Amino acid sequence: MNFLTDEKLLIVGAAGMIGSNMAQTAIMMGLTPNICLYDPYAKGLEGVAEELLQCGFDGLNLTFTDDIEKAFTGAKYIVSSGGAPRKAGMTREDLLAGNCKIAEDFGKNVKQYCPDVKQIVVIFNPADITGLVTLLYSGVKPGCVTTLAGLDSTRLRNELAKYFKISPDKVENARTYGGHGEQMAVFASTVTVDGKPLTELIENGTLPKEEWEALKVRVIQGGKNIIDLRGRSSFQSPAYLSIEMIAAAMGGKPFKWPAGVYVNDDKFHNIMMAMETTITKDGATFRRVEGNAQEQAELEESYKHLCTLRDEVIALGIMPPIEKWGEYNPYLVEKTV
């Protein structure tokens, strides 16, 4: 089997539904032979490892441990679903405090055991915030931490494909930016549907405005819909997409969706949010997108919402005030407004 790299990939939260799918996906995609599964729940972890070993893969060096030091030492790529899952009725934000504490520990483990990690993908919700907490405490460069945000864009593509009854392939450049939460900016201006700009289709009534608004709600509530349908939180799509992000960071196929990245420019400050990103072996970079006036307004709203969440975490004492971030991570210097 050909692998993209032989560096160690650590999957945190591997006993869970998302983590176990990540592991299988990473193996099947041929990322690296050296995959380590970590979870504090040793029994379930062993069950997942057994399942994967019983697939009969060749050339695989699969290890698993509930020991943090063993797990993190030498890890060059990490993907973490290691938070508490969202239950029916909970918003992503409900998970805030508990998962931010988990992210703090996660970041500290990175700093202690694998400070030279190349890419960390954080997917436990609210991922923008847990990613930020992870970045802060890990002390790594901002481009080394990304969060799963592409799922909102794939949901947009899917909803448009269903609405227009065409193949998802014909919906191009579906994009959401900002927060991966109740308040995200669902863009129309980037999208083409069967070659036609979506904004035109909305303007000329092919997709009536109220239908578009309803469709956006379906995108934003895509996760809730999966819970309603399957009786469990979405796990296949977040696992798959996050492993695609890791693959890109290993030099594999480019990741074609937005990702959450640390943003600190002249407009958005000290925040992690979905932007137009490129993930390569050198880490993630982003560029700003300019939507129409309404989209820009929505993106700014989304940013403000994330700032509120971030400040809540600061108020909880899980993150220090922004002016002190540099003491924890030298790459995070406060941007004065």
Candidates 9, 29, 123, 313: give the one binding a second copy (CB under 8 A): 29
| Cα–Cα distance, 76 to 116 (Å, whole number) | 7
Candidates 47, 73, 94, 335: give the one binding a second copy (CB under 8 A): 47
Neighbouring-strand partners of residue 64: 37
Candidates 34, 81, 130, 153: give the one binding a second copy (CB under 8 A): 153
User: What is the smallest separation between the CB atom of 240 and a second copy, expressed in angstroms?
Assistant: 4
- Is residue 215 near a second copy by the rule CB under 8 A? no
- Is residue 302 near a second copy by the rule CB under 8 A? no
- Is residue 214 near a second copy by the rule CB under 8 A? no
Q: Which of 92, 118, 157, 180 is catalytic?
A: 180
Size of the site for a second copy (CB under 8 A): 49
| Cα–Cα distance, 143 to 258 (Å, whole number) | 14
- Is residue 181 near a second copy by the rule CB under 8 A? no
User: How many of the other CB atoms lie within 10 Å of CB of 155?
Assistant: 23
| Cα–Cα distance, 154 to 28 (Å, whole number) | 21
Determine contact, residues 114/76, Cβ cutoff 8 Å. yes
- Is residue 56 near a second copy by the rule CB under 8 A? yes
Candidates 145-153, 188-196, 278-286, 310-318: pick the segment binding a second copy (CB under 8 A): 145-153
Q: Which residues contact 274 (CB under 8 A, 6 or more apart)?
A: 128, 147, 149, 152, 176, 177, 178, 179, 180, 184, 258, 259, 260, 261
- Is residue 24 near a second copy by the rule CB under 8 A? yes
Q: Which residues contact 75 (CB under 8 A, 6 or more apart)?
A: 8, 9, 10, 36, 113, 114, 117
- Is residue 217 near a second copy by the rule CB under 8 A? no
User: How many of the other CB atoms lie within 10 Å of CB of 250?
Assistant: 25
Candidates 162-170, 191-199, 261-269, 292-300: pick the segment binding a second copy (CB under 8 A): 162-170
3-state secondary structure of 61: strand
- Is residue 161 near a second copy by the rule CB under 8 A? yes
User: What is the smallest separation between the CB atom of 41 and a second copy, expressed in angstroms?
Assistant: 10
Neighbouring-strand partners of residue 18: none
Q: What is the 3-state secondary structure (H, E, C) of 86-112?
A: CCCCCCHHHHHHHHHHHHHHHHHHHHH
Q: Euclidean distance between the first and final Cα of the chain, in Å?
A: 51
User: In the numeric block, which tokens belong to residue 230?
Assistant: 């399957």
Pick from 199, 186, 195: which is nearest to 159 by CA?
Answer: 186
- Is residue 155 near a second copy by the rule CB under 8 A? yes
User: In the numeric block, which tokens belong to residue 53?
Assistant: 């070993």
Over the window 223 to 252, marking each residue x when it contacts a second copy by CB under 8 A and - when it does not, the resulting string is: --xx-xxxx--xxxx--xx-----------
Known catalytic residue at 305:
no
Over the window 255 to 284, marking each residue x when it contacts a second copy by CB under 8 A and - when it does not, the resulting string is: -xx---------------------------
User: What is the smallest separation between the CB atom of 173 and a second copy, expressed in angstroms?
Assistant: 12
Residues lying near a second copy in the complex (CB under 8 A)? 20-21, 24-25, 28-29, 43-44, 46-48, 50-61, 150-151, 153-155, 157-158, 161, 167-169, 222, 225-226, 228-231, 234-237, 240-241, 256-257
Catalytic residues: 180
